Structure 1
Amino acid sequence: MKANVESLIQYEIKKGVISKRDYTYVKNQLYYLLNLDLSMDKIDYIKIDHPSEALKPILDQLVSDNVIEDFKTNRDLFDAKIMNIFASLPSVVENKFHLIKKTSSKDATNFLYNYAKSLNYIRFDRILKNISFDYKTKNIQLQITINLSKPEKDPKEIIAQAKAIQSNYPPCVLCKENEGFSGNMNRDSRDQHRLLELNIENKKWYFQYSPYIYYNEHAIVLSEKHEPMRISKDTFINLLSLVDQFDSYFFGSNADLPIVGGSILSHEHYQGGRHKFPIEDAKSIYELKYGDVNVNLLNWPLSTIRLKSTNKANMIHLSTKILESWKTYSNPELNIYSNTLHTPHNTITPIARFKNGLYELDLVLRNNRTTDMYPNGIFHPHEDKHHIKKENIGLIEAIGLAILPARLVEEIYDLRNYYFNHIPLPEKSMVHKTWFDSLLKKYEFTQNNFDEIIKFEIGKVFENVLIDCGVFKKKDYDAFIKFINGVKL
C-alpha cells in the first residue's frame, strides 16, 4: 500500500495540486488515515496517469483488511477522504482562479477543471468507459452517449442505504452545503468538492464542475438559495451575464416544469461548458428582425427560436416577450394547450452563447401536457421509443446530445447473440424485439457491420425522440411562423 500512496503523492506534485514543500505533511496525514507505520525508509513508486490507478489497490487492501465493506459507496466515501488531504481550502482555490482570470478566463477554467480531475472529484476513469458516437444524416448530426460512468449498486448496498439514518442536510445534491460534505450511504461524498463563488446581477451564485461530466468541461452554476427552477426574464439576464464571465462557454437552463425540465427541479441552476452541441449548426428556415435583434426559426426537431445581436438589453426584452407569448399560447389543432385546470404546460429551455462578436440565445419551446394516450407526455418520447430512451428530455438532449442508459450495452449484446448464435432473447431484452425485427427487413447483418448498423439505428431512434418532443412539427411550421410573428413587443 505504501508504494501506491507514494505514487499518489508524486502524481499530485506533478499535477501541481501540491508542491514538493507539502510532501511531509501530506504523507503524515495519509499514513495516519490509512493506519500505516511511518518510517524513514525510501519508498519506491510507479508513475500513474490517473489517481484511480493508485486508489484502487489502496481500497482493495482496505477491503481485504476489513476496514471498509466492498460496496461502491463505501469505496467512494473513503477515496474522497484520501483525496481531500491533497485539496486546498475553498478560499485558496477561489483566489487562485481569480488571479489567473485577470490574465485569461480560459486559463482560469482550465486550472479549475484540471484541478477537479486531479483530485478525482471528476471521476474521469469512469467517464472514459462511456460509449460515444455520432449519428449523421444529410439533414442532421447528433451526439450519442451510452452512460456507463455510474455503475449499478449491489443489492446489499441498497439494503444498507435503506437502513441508513436519513438527513435533510444538505437539502439537495446541488446546494452549496455540499462543499466538503463527508457523505454517507445515501449521499455521495463531496470532501474534495470546491465551489467558485460568483456574482451574477448582485446575487450570489456558485460555479462547479459535474463529477460525472457528459461533455467537455461540464459545469453547473447553482443559486445560493435552495429554490425551485424558474424560467423568467432573470434567467435570460443571468445566462447572458455568464457568457460574459466565462470565455468560450455556453450556458443554458433546464425548463421549469416536470417532464420537460430534466431531473432536478428543486434547485435553481444552470449548466454550461466548453462544448459544441449539434444545435449550433442548425440552419434557419425563417428569418425576421426586431430592431437590432436577428430572429431565426431553426431547422431542428425541437421548435427553436434563435436570437442574435450585439445588444443584450434588446435580446433580453425580446426573449421575455417570447416567453410571455408562449406561456399563454394554445393551438388545439396541434394538441398544444397552455394550461388545463390552472396547471401550466408551456415553458422554454434557453441556451446562451457569445460567438463571432454576437450574443446568441436559443429558445426551445416546450410543453409538458399528458393525456390518456400519452401518459408520459404528448411532447415526450413516445412509447415505441422507450426501449432506447424513456427518460425526460432536458437541456442536454434538447440541444443534440443523447444520454442513454447503461442497460443498452448488455441488451445489444443479447441481440447479437439472438441473431448470430440463435440464443433466445432474455426477458429484459424483449423490449427491443419489434424494433430489431424491423431492422432485419432492412439489413443483411454480418459480424463486421452489426455494431455500426445498430449505432446508426439507435441514433435514428433518438432523432425521432426529439421529433416527438417538438411542439411544432415540420408540417406545422406555418403555425410556428405565425406564432413568432404574433409576439407583441
Structure 2
Amino acid sequence: AAATTAGLFKPEEGPAYADTIMGILSANPADLDDRFLLVEHRDGGMAAMQWFYDYCVANNYVKRAQLDRNPRFDSHGLTVTINLAKPEFKNMKKAAAGNAVAGGYPKCTICHENEGFAGRDKRTLRTLPVTLGGESWFWQFSPYGYFDQHGICVNTDHTPMHVDRDTFGHLLDFVDRFPGYFLGCNAALPRIGGSVLAHDHYQGGGELLPMHKAATWAAFTLADYPDAVVEILDWPGTAVRVVSKNRQSIIDVSDIIREAWVGYDDAANGIASHDADGNRQSALSPSAIITERGYEMSLIFRNNAISDEYPEGIFHAHPEYWPVKQEPIGLIEAQGLFILPGRLVDQLGIVEEALAEGRDLPDEVSEFSLEWGELAETLAGNRDREAIHQAVRDELGSVCYRILGNTAVFKQKATTQTFLESLGFAAR
C-alpha cells in the first residue's frame, strides 16, 4: 500500500510486483523438497504437509486470508461457502477456455512447467514430487482453496483425464503416505467433471467433506471379496462406499462397480451409457480416505446426458436453481461442499433487506422468485433480521441439497440396490 501511495506502481500492478518479490525470496524447489523429506522422515507425512502448507501461505502463493473471508456455514447436512475470489463459469466451454494458455507453453495452467514461471505469475508456486503407481506426479496447494489444505495432485506428463483401475491404486498410494488427507478424482467427462480435462489430476486436502461422513442406507458384500463391504450412502446424490482393510479388495471391488456402471443402460430410469453418436456419457468419481475401519473408497455415479428439456445436463442443476448455482457440479460439491458465486452476497443482501422491510421482491433480483416464495412461507411475516439471515442460509442449504438430488442418476436408493444386486452383491 505504501508503494502505491508513493507512486512507485499502479494499484493493479501490485499482485505482479508482490509475486516477483516473493518469488525471489522463496526457496529453490529442490531445497524445499529436501526440507519436506526431512520433516516427513522425522515427524511423518501429515506433519510434513502441514509444514509445506504453512510455507505456501507464508510465501503468499496460498491466499489463506482470502479463504478465511469467504462466508461458510453448514446446512441440510452440507457445507456451503460463497467464494469471493473465484470467477463464475456457467458452462464447461467457458471454464475450459479460461484454463487454456495461449502460446502453448505451458500447455495448461496445471502443468509442472508452471512452477516458478514468471509468464503466468507463478513465481511463488512450489510443488512436491509424489510417486503414484510407480509414476511421477506432483502435489501443489490451490492458491484460492475451497477448504483446509486444498490442493491437486497432477500427473507430470500432460495426459488427458481418465478414471480406470489404476486410478484406485493411485488414490490409495496417496492416502497411505498422507493418511489424514482425502484424494479424489473428477469424472473425466464434460459438464460433470473439472474444467481441466486435458491434464490428468486429482483433488484433495486435509479436511473430510460431508459425504465422507454420510450414514449408510444399506450394506452389501460380494462372495469373492468377503473382506470388503459396499455401502449405499444415505446421500442425495448416487454414491456407494467400498470399505476394507485389504487395499487389493478395495481396488478390485471398486473396478467391478466402475466397469459395470460405465456400460450400464436403463431406459426405465432414463440412463444411457452412450449418446446417439457413441460418445460415453457415464463415469465414476472416486474419493479415498483412511479411517479406523480401513480404506474407504467412495464412488459417485455420474452421467452427462442432455435432452431438449435439460440442454445443460439431465443430471445437472435444474434451471430453477440456476440463480443460486449454474456451474457444473464437480467432485468437491458432489461430496457436499458447495462453492457458490460471490455475486450472491449482494443479491441475497437485497433479498434480506426487502424481507426485513416487508416489501415485494425487488426487480433486480427477480430471478430469486422460487427462493423468495419459500422464504416468505418459512418466515411467515417475521421481520427480525437475524431470523431472516438464518432463513436465507437454510434456504441456500436446501437448494444445494436439491441440486445434489438433480445429479443423482438413481433417484431411489432401492434402484442403486438393484444395480448392485445385478452384479452379484448380496445384502449383508
Q: What TM-score, normalized to structure 1?
A: 0.80
Per the TM alignment, residue 273 of structure 1 is displaced from its structure 2 partner at its CA by 1.1
Cα distance, 1:149 vs. partner? 2.9
Give the secondary-structure state (helix, strand or coil) at the position aligned to 2:33.
Answer: helix
Q: Select 1:135's aligned residue among 66, 75, 87.
A: 75
Q: CA deviation at 1:233?
A: 0.6
Check conservation: 2:155, 2:199, Cα contact below 8 A. Answer: yes
Tell whether the 8 Å contact from 1:129 to 1:149 is kept in structure 2 after alignment.
Answer: no
8 Å CA contact 2:214–2:235 kept in 1: the answer is yes
Contact 2:183–2:203 at 8 Å: present in 1 too? yes
Superposition pairs of residues 29-40 of structure 1, within 5 angstroms? none
2:11 maps to: 70
What's the counterpart of residue 4 of structure 2?
60
The answer for unaligned runs of 5 or more in structure 1 is 1-56, 153-161
Letter in 2 for 1:413: G
Q: Mark the CA change 1:423 to 1:78 in structure 2 (over 3 Å): closer, same or farther.
A: farther
1:289-308 to 2 correspondence within 5 Å?
289-290=221-222, 291=225, 292-308=227-243
- The verdict on how the C-alpha distance between 1:280 and 1:151 changes in structure 2, with shifts beyond 3 A counting, is closer
Q: Counterpart of 1:365 in structure 2: which amino acid?
A: F
Q: How does 1:1-80 map to 2 (within 5 A)?
A: 57-61=1-5, 64-65=6-7, 67-71=8-12, 74-80=13-19
Contact 1:277 1:399 in 2 (8 A): yes
Aligned to 1:116: 56
**Farther-moved stretch of structure 1 (408-417 vs 479-488):** 479-488
For the pair 1:271 / 2:212, whether they are aligned, the reply is no
Report the count of equivalent residues. Answer: 407
Unaligned runs of 5+ in 2: 89-97
| Alignment equivalent of 2:40, drawn from 101, 104, 108 | 101
Contact 2:87 2:341 in 1 (8 A): no
Aligned to 1:370: 306
Deviation at 1:426, TM superposition (A): 6.0
Pairwise CA RMSD: 2.0
Alignment partner of 1:466 out of 401, 404, 408? 404
Tell me, in whole angstroms, the C-alpha distance in 2 between the residues paired with 1:84 and 1:394.
Answer: 32
Q: 1:175 aligns with which of 111, 115, 118?
A: 111
Letter in 2 for 1:339: H
2:352 matched residue in structure 1: 416
Q: Give how far 1:434 is off.
A: 3.4
Indicate whether 1:216 and 2:148 are aligned.
yes
| 3-state SS of paired residue (1:432) | helix
Alignment CA distance shift 1:434-1:293 (3 Å): closer
Choose between structure 1 and 2 for higher RCO, CA contacts under 8 A separated by at least 6 residues.
Answer: 2
Task: Kindly indicate whether residue 332 of structure 2 is the aligned counterpart of residue 400 of structure 1.
Answer: no
d(CA) in 2 for partners of 1:134, 1:240: 29
Distance in 1, Cα, partners of 2:214 & 2:49: 28
8 Å CA contact 2:45, 2:178 repeated in 1: yes
Q: Contact 2:179–2:289 at 8 Å: present in 1 too?
A: no
Q: TM-score, normalised by structure 2?
A: 0.91
Distance 2:355 2:194 in 1: 36
Distance 2:370 2:206 in 1: 39
Compared CA separation, residues 236 and 176, structure 1 to 2 (3 A): same
Indicate conservation of the 8 Å contact 1:321/1:488, yes or no.
no
Regions of 4+ moved over 4 Å: 421-428
Residue of structure 2 aligned with 1:126, choices 66, 81, 87: 66
Q: For 2:219, which of 287, 308, 312 is the aligned residue?
A: 287
CA distance in 1, matches of 2:363, 2:102: 35
Q: Alpha-carbon deviation of 1:68?
A: 3.4
Match of 1:19 in 2: none
Q: Label 1:59 to 1:401 Cα distance change in 2 as closer, same or farther (>3 A).
A: farther
Give me the whole-angstrom Cα distance separating, in 2, the residues matched to 1:257 and 1:68.
43
Q: Give the number of the structure whose alpha-carbon radius of gyration is greater.
A: 1
Cα deviation, 1:23-43, whole Å, max 9, x if unaligned, reads xxxxxxxxxxxxxxxxxxxxx
Are 1:332 and 2:267 an aligned pair? yes
Contact 1:126 1:150 in 2 (8 A): no
